[in-house]
Amino acid sequence: MLPPGLYRGAVAAQVIVLNGSSSSGKSGIARCLQAVLPDPWLAFGVDLLIQAMPVSAQTSAAGIQVAADGEVTIGPEFRMLEAAWIEGIAAMARAGARIIVDEVFLGGAASQQRWKDALGPLPVLWVGVRCDVAVAAGREIARGDRVAGMAASQAEVVHRGVAYDMQVDTTHTEALECARAIAARAQGGMAR
Amino acid sequence: MLPPGLYRGAVAAQVIVLNGSSSSGKSGIARCLQAVLPDPWLAFGVDLLIQAMPVSAQTSAAGIQVAADGEVTIGPEFRMLEAAWIEGIAAMARAGARIIVDEVFLGGAASQQRWKDALGPLPVLWVGVRCDVAVAAGREIARGDRVAGMAASQAEVVHRGVAYDMQVDTTHTEALECARAIAARAQGGMAR
Amino acid sequence: MLPPGLYRGAVAAQVIVLNGSSSSGKSGIARCLQAVLPDPWLAFGVDLLIQAMPVSAQTSAAGIQVAADGEVTIGPEFRMLEAAWIEGIAAMARAGARIIVDEVFLGGAASQQRWKDALGPLPVLWVGVRCDVAVAAGREIARGDRVAGMAASQAEVVHRGVAYDMQVDTTHTEALECARAIAARAQGGMAR
Amino acid sequence: MLPPGLYRGAVAAQVIVLNGSSSSGKSGIARCLQAVLPDPWLAFGVDLLIQAMPVSAQTSAAGIQVAADGEVTIGPEFRMLEAAWIEGIAAMARAGARIIVDEVFLGGAASQQRWKDALGPLPVLWVGVRCDVAVAAGREIARGDRVAGMAASQAEVVHRGVAYDMQVDTTHTEALECARAIAARAQGGMAR
C-alpha cells in the first residue's frame, strides 16, 4: 500500500512539487517544464504568495523577514495565509488544473506534510532540486535581487526528512535538461 | 431572501471583489485596502494568474491575446485555467483567508456569475471600480506598461449586468480614500 | 542677460528637468511627455542610476540608504557616481538627444546647481512637480513599492531654493494634462 | 603603437565592455563584477537604454523591433538615441566613473567601432561573452522573458570581426567565476 500523495510513475502527475533552497534554480525549471509539457500547466511559487500579501507582512516578524545574513523567519500571520494558500492550490488541482509548485520547505518534512495533507489522493510528483552551495551562492550574486546568504542558510534544512520521487541537480545540469527529465516522469513515461 | 454571495452589511466580508477596466485603479485600491484593513488580506489580481500561466498562453489565441488596439481576447485554455483558479481562490477563503480579488469582468454578468458559483455562501462585498474613460486612457499612458486602448475598449463591457454592493470612482477620488470607504463597508460598519 | 541654463520660451528645450518628491508623479509625467512630444525623448530617472549601481551601494551608508521612516541619506560613493552620471546625461544632450530628467533634488538649490553646471548653455526647461503631501503619501501606499514616509520627508526640502520655469501640481491634475502643458512650453510655443 | 581603446594589461581598466548574444549571461557577470571589484562600478546594459526610450520606440520599425522568430531589427530613431547614449557613457567614464557596459553588438565590428570612437583613449577591457547556442536557447526558455530565438539569431553575428582582450564562456563556467577572471584582468593584475 502506497502512502497518499506519493507518485508511482504509471499514472500521469497532476501536481509537480519542486523543492529546493533559494537560487537552486527551481523557477527556471518550472518555466522550462511549462514549455516542454504538452498541456498548459500553472506554476505557483512562494514568491507569488508573498507578492499577494500586504506589504507590511512582507517585512515583519508576524509575516516573513529576511535577516542581514539571509536567514528567513516566518511568523504566525504568514503561516495562516500560507495554510489557506496551500488549500487553494490543492483545490485548483482538484478542479482540473495541472500545477507546478515551486517551494522552499523551510520546515523540511513538516512542510512537505502540510502539502501532502492538502493534496490528498491527487497524483503528485515530488522533486528535490539540489545545487552545490557555493554555486547557488554565486548565482545569488549574479541575480542581484536576493539577500546574500539565503542560498547557504537554506541549503540543508529544506531537504531534511523530505521524501522525493526524483531529484535533479542544477550544479552542472541546465534547467531545460532537468525539466525534460522531470517531464518524462510526470507524464508517466517511466516506471519507477 | 437574498441571493447567495451578495453582501448585506451586517456581516464582515471575507472576500472583496474589485471589478473594473484596465487602468481604472483597482490594484492601487487593493494595496490601500491591505494597508488600512486591520487583518492581513491576500490580494489576487488576474495579472497574477496570467503570470502563473505558460509564456505561450500569455500571447496566444488559445490563451490570452491583446490586439494592437488594446482589445483582449480569451481562448479555451485560458478559460479552463481560470475556472480552476477561481475554485482555488474560493477554497482559500473557505480555509479562512481574507481575500481581495482584483478582476476585469470581460464577460460582464457572466463573469460575475462564475465567481458567485465558486464563492457560494461566503460573505462577499462586490465593488465596481469606475473611472472616466479619458482619464483611464491617460493613466494607461502614464503607466507605460499597457497596450494603448485597453482602458477604452473595456470601459463599458466589464460592468454590463454586474450587480454591486457599492461603487467607487477613481476619476477624482484617490485610491486611499476609495479604500477607506470600501474597508468601512467590508467590516460591517455601515448598514446597506 | 539671462543666466545659462534658464529656459526662455522662444527656443525649444533640449532638456526637461522634472523635480519633485517621491510619489509626486514625475515618472508618469515623463512617460506622458514621451508620448505627446513629436520627437523621441529619452527619460532618465534617479531610479535608473540606482539600478546601475552595485547592489551593495543601493543599501549602504556610503551609497544610498532609506531609513525606516522613509528618510533617504546619500553617501560619498553615491555622490561620486552621481556626479559622473550628470556629466554623462549632459553629454547625451550635447550629442543631440532630447532628454527628460526625472529627479529628486534632496539638496534643493545645491542639487539644481550641479545640473546647471553640467548642462551649461543647453536650453533647459526646469519644471517643479508639486503634490499635496497627504495625497502623495496615499499614492505611496497605493504603489506598494516605496518605504512609507518618503513622500512626506521630501515634500519641502526638494523645492528649497530651486528656480523653475514652470510648475505643475498633480494633486488634482492628471499626469497627461501636466505633460501637455509642459510639452507646449518645451516646444517654445508659449512665451514666458 | 597600440590602437586607442585597446587594453594592455599594465593599466587598470576604466571601462569593461561585455559583448555577447542575448541570454549568454552578460548581466549576471556584470552583477558579479560589481560584487567582486573593490571599487564601485556602474553597469549599463542596452536594456536600460531601451527602458529610457519612449514606449513607441520600444516596438516600432523606427526604434527597435523583435520579430516572432526572435530577430531584432533596429531603426534610425534607435540609432540616433543610441549614438547619444554611447557619447554619454563615455563622458561618465571621463568624469571618473568606472563603468561596465553590457552590450549586444548586432553590427559586429561596426558596433565595436562606435564604442571605440566614443571611448577614445580611455583604458577599456573588451570581453567576449560566449555561450553554446543550444545552452543559451535553453536559458532563454528558463528566463521566460525573452522571445524564443533571440539567442540563436544573434549567436554568431555579434562576435563577427570584434577584437577582444579576453573571452569567457558561460556554457560550463559560472558567472561568478567568469567575473573573477575578468576582474583580475581589469585591475591590471595579469599581463597580456
Q: Got the DSSP string for A156-182?
A: TGGGTT---SEEEE-SSS-HHHHHHHH
B190: phi then psi, degrees, rounded to nearest 5: -125, 125
Chain A residues in contact with D144 (beta carbon < 8 A) = 31
Instruction: Name D143's Cβ contacts closer than 8 Å, sequence gap at least 6.
Output: A28, A31, D23
Are B133 and B139 a contacting pair, CB within 8 Å? no
Facing residue for D53 by CB, picked from C42, C55, C83? C42
- Is A119:A5 a contact under the CB 8 Å cutoff? yes
Q: Mean pLDDT across the stretch B109-123?
A: 97
Q: How buried is A17 (Cβ within 10 angstroms: 0-12 exposed, 13-18 middle, 19+ buried)?
A: buried
- Residue A120 is inside which H or E element, if any? none
Q: Does residue B3 register a pLDDT over 90?
A: no
Nearest CA in chain C to B28: C142
Are A118 and A90 in contact by the 8 Å Cβ rule? The answer is yes
| C156, C161, C167, C171: CA torsion to nearest 10 | 10
A62-76, B24-38, B104-118 — which is least confidently predicted?
Answer: A62-76
For strands D41-45 and D124-130, give the pairing. Answer: unpaired
- Residues B15, B186: Cα–Cα separation, whole Å: 8
pLDDT tens by residue, D112-146: 999 999 999 999 999 999 999 999 999 999 999 88
At C187, the amino acid letter reads Q
Give the separation between CA B2 and CA B8, rounded to whole angstroms: 9
Q: How confident is the model at residue B1 (pLDDT cuts 50, 70, 90)?
A: very low
Of the candidates B157, B158, B156, B137, the one whose C-alpha atom is nearest the C-alpha of residue B148 is B137
Query: Can you give the pLDDT at residue A190?
Result: 45
Work out the average pLDDT over A11-23. 95
Strand-pairing partners, residue B43, are B100
Half-sphere exposure (CA, 13 Å, Cβ side) for C91?
21
CA distance D131 to D112: 19
pLDDT (0 to 100) of residue A146 = 85
| Cα C178 to Cα D174: distance, rounded to the nearest angstrom | 48
The per-residue pLDDT for range A159-186, each reduced to its tens digit, is 999 999 999 999 999 999 999 999 999 9
Residue A29 with chain D: CB contacts under 8 Å: 142
**Residue A30: alpha-carbon gap to chain centroid:** 9
Q: Which residue of B has its CA nearest to A94?
A: B84
Query: How confident is the model at residue C49, as a pLDDT?
Result: 96
Q: Pick out chain C residues at pLDDT < 50.
A: 1-4, 190-192
Question: What mean pLDDT comes out for the span A100-124?
Answer: 97
pLDDT of residue B7: 58
Q: CB burial class (10 A; 0-12, 13-18, 19+) of residue D10?
A: exposed
Say which DSSP state C75 is in. -
Q: B87–A89: do the CB atoms touch at under 8 Å?
A: no
B137 CA to chain C: closest CA distance, Å?
9
The reply to whether the predicted model has a pTM over 0.90 is: yes
Checking if the pLDDT of B116 tops 50, the result is yes
CA atoms of D186 and C3, how far apart (whole Å): 43
Helix (H/G/I), strand (E/B), else coil: B86: helix
Among chain A residues, CA nearest to B83: A95
pLDDT-based confidence at residue D191 (cuts at 50, 70, 90): very low
Catalytically active residues of B are: 47
Query: In the predicted model, is pLDDT for residue A11 greater than 90?
Result: no
Residue C142 and residue B33 in contact, taking contact as beta carbons nearer than 8 Å: no
ipTM exceeds 0.85, yes or no: yes
Q: Which residues of B touch C175 (CB under 8 A)?
A: 138-139, 141-142
Cell readout for A182 is 522531470
**pLDDT at residue A192 tops 50:** no
Among chain B, residues having any CB pair with chain C shorter than 8 Å are 28-29, 31-32, 35, 135, 138-139, 141-144, 172, 174-177
- pLDDT tens-digit profile of D5-36? 555 556 799 999 999 999 999 999 999 999 99
> How high does pLDDT run on average in chain D?
92
Radius of gyration of chain C from Cα atoms? 16
Residues of B in Cβ contact (< 8 Å) with C29: 142
pLDDT category, B177, cuts 50, 70, 90? very high
Phi, psi of A21, rounded to the nearest 5 degrees: -70, 165
Can you read off the three cell numbers belonging to residue B166?
A: 457599492
Residues from C contacting B (CB-CB < 8 Å) are 28-29, 31-32, 35, 135, 138-139, 141-144, 172, 174-177
C57: distance to nearest CA of chain D, Å? 8
Mutant choice from B36, B46, B60, B92 vs A, greatest count of A C-beta within 10 A: B92
pLDDT reported for residue A188: 83
Amino acid code (one letter) for B2: L
